[in-house]
Amino acid sequence: MAEFRFARRTRLRGGDELTAILAGSPPGVLSMTGGFPNPATFPTDELDEIAARLVRDDAAVALQYTPCAGIPSVREYLTDRQEQLQGRRPAGDELIVTSGGMECIALMCHALVDPGDAVAVEAPTYLGALMAFGGAEADVVAIATDEDGLRVDALAERLEGGLRPKFLYTIPEYQNPTGRTLPLDRRHQLVELCRRHGVLIFEDVAYRELSFDGTSLPSLWSLAPDVVLQAGTFSKSFFPGVRLGWAAGPRAVVAELAAAKQNTDQCAGGLGQRLVEEYGRAGGFERHLPAAQALYGSHWAALSAALTRHMPGDVEWTEPTGGFLTWLTLPDEIDTLALRADALAAGVAYVPGPPFHVGDAGRNTLRLSFSHLTEAELETAAERLAGAVSERAHSRSAS
Ligand SMILES: Cc1ncc(COP(=O)(O)O)c(C=O)c1O
């Protein structure tokens, strides 16, 4: 048997949890694991028409390789869109097309992270980002959060103590995994702090367009385009199969990301780029996003009511105002990694808290996604999970 000599980074990135999420759950199990959009939000009729038209009339562009930074008309559209949605227009060399948010995270690692470099993250944070930073051999430094998200005072303390991260990775809206949103005053404090210390902010706006009531706070990039690199994605607001997003920020950083893209996929798929452009220019997002926002809002209302009805009194959860996710804190003595088998046996799946942390914190926490199940299923899922939690709490107190 040949012995394959895999790279060191294969042992550094972790990843079993993400693979498990993407693989789905066994039949009969109500899964609240993945941050997957609900397929009811996919605009299939319009896509059918646009895709057929592009293949028929635009094959030379849509089916061809594209420039590394994206098709010029698509960049123009994304530039207009930033201005329309975030009130600031990036210059031509301040935005590129990416193959989704995860690719932008990988590009940031390529462009900025040498082994041993410090990267600051929220505790807890997106699993995919933690894996990418680990794989890049970064020294990942966790910054404390509270019910309003990142604690800017905790970051300030670390920076004043000498921490010099290559960047701070943050998800200001409906954060993965907690569902929390950074309030406006903290946004101002954060950009001022990072400006003062010369720290680049890496802002991930994956869920930004999915507020339940259609409103949003100013993005960090719109407040401080000189110190913020924003990664956006169409995975949650359009559909993840398109694998498309953007990076917008200081031109020197954007130029390095575009150069790094030559080492990943060279260009995002042209067909997906043109689909987004045609759909967007025809007003597709304005027509369809309100229905998606209402659907997720109503799913959250159903899950929130079900948790209130079924969970023991000592279980707490976050109150998202958008996105797909809520974060539960169970009594200290309940280990959510161990509870998972009981929950699966009861017919419900969730993601335990520890993989979202640097190290082994968050053992009594877990993440629930409410995007995918129907409201009736969410009720049943909450009841099953509450049953598993209560049983474990009883058996712990009896032993
Ligand atoms: C916070 C966050 N960033 C990025 C991504 C990845 O997005 P994409 O599908 O565009 O790679 C996700 C997907 O779940 C996410 O939750």
CA distance 222 to 230: 9
What pLDDT, on the 0 to 100 scale, is given for residue 13? 66
The angle subtended at Cα 62 by Cα 61 and Cα 66, nearest 5°, is 65
CA distance 95 to 253: 10
Burial of 48 (0-12, 13-18, 19+ CB in 10 A): exposed
| Per-residue pLDDT in tens (0 to 9) along the chain, 399 residues | 678 998 888 777 666 777 777 677 888 999 999 889 999 999 999 999 999 999 999 999 999 999 999 999 999 999 999 999 999 999 999 999 999 999 999 999 999 999 999 999 999 999 999 999 999 999 999 999 999 999 999 999 999 999 999 999 999 999 999 999 999 999 999 999 999 999 999 999 999 999 999 999 999 999 999 999 999 999 999 999 999 999 999 999 999 999 999 989 999 999 999 999 999 999 999 999 999 999 999 999 999 999 999 999 999 999 999 999 999 999 999 999 999 999 999 999 999 999 999 988 999 999 999 999 999 999 999 999 999 999 988 887 776
CA distance 278 to 169: 31
206 lines ligand 1 (CB under 6 A): yes
CA distance 115 to 68: 26
What pLDDT, on the 0 to 100 scale, is given for residue 399? 63
Which ligand 1 atom is the nearest neighbour of the CA of 100?
10
What pLDDT, on the 0 to 100 scale, is given for residue 389? 96
User: Alpha carbon of 389 to those of 236, 311, 315, 337: distances in Å?
Assistant: 30, 8, 9, 12
Question: How far, in Å, is the centroid of ligand 1 from the Cα of 199?
Answer: 23
- Give nearest CA residue, ligand 1 atom 2: 206
100 lines ligand 1 (CB under 6 A): yes
233 lines ligand 1 (CB under 6 A): yes
What pLDDT, on the 0 to 100 scale, is given for residue 16? 74
Which ligand 1 atom is the nearest neighbour of the CA of 126?
1
Question: How far, in Å, is the centroid of ligand 1 from the Cα of 206?
Answer: 6
What pLDDT, on the 0 to 100 scale, is given for residue 327? 98
Question: How far, in Å, is the centroid of ligand 1 from the Cα of 314?
Answer: 31
- Dihedral over Cα of 379, 384, 385, 391: its sign: positive
HEC profile for the chain? Answer: CCCCCCCHHHHCCCCHHHHHHHHCCCCCCEECCCCCCCHHHCCHHHHHHHHHHHHHHCHHHHCCCCCCCCCHHHHHHHHHHHHHHHCCCCCHHHEEEECCHHHHHHHHHHHHCCCCCEEEEECCCCHHHHHHHHHCCCEEEEECEECCEECHHHHHHHHHCCCCCCEEEECCCCCCCCCCCCCHHHHHHHHHHHHHHCCEEEEECCCCCCECCCCCCCCHHHHCCCCEEEEEECCCCCCHHHCCEEEECCHHHHHHHHHHHCCCCCCCCHHHHHHHHHHHHCCHHHHHHHHHHHHHHHHHHHHHHHHHHHCCCCCEECCCCECCEEEEECCCCCCHHHHHHHHHHHCEECEECHHHCCCCCCCCEEEEECCCCCHHHHHHHHHHHHHHHHHHHHHHHHC
What pLDDT, on the 0 to 100 scale, is given for residue 112? 98
Give the number of other CB atoms < 10 A from CB of residue 287. 12
36 lines ligand 1 (CB under 6 A): no
In this prediction the pTM is: 0.96
Q: Phi-psi bin for 150: left (phi > 0), alpha (psi -120 to 50), beta?
A: beta
CA distance 128 to 290: 28
- Give nearest CA residue, ligand 1 atom 13: 35
What pLDDT, on the 0 to 100 scale, is given for residue 154? 98
CA distance 206 to 272: 18
Which residues are CB-contacts of 70 (< 8 A; sequence separation ≥ 6)? 78, 96, 97, 267, 268, 273
173 lines ligand 1 (CB under 6 A): no
Cis upstream peptide for 177 (omega within 30°): yes
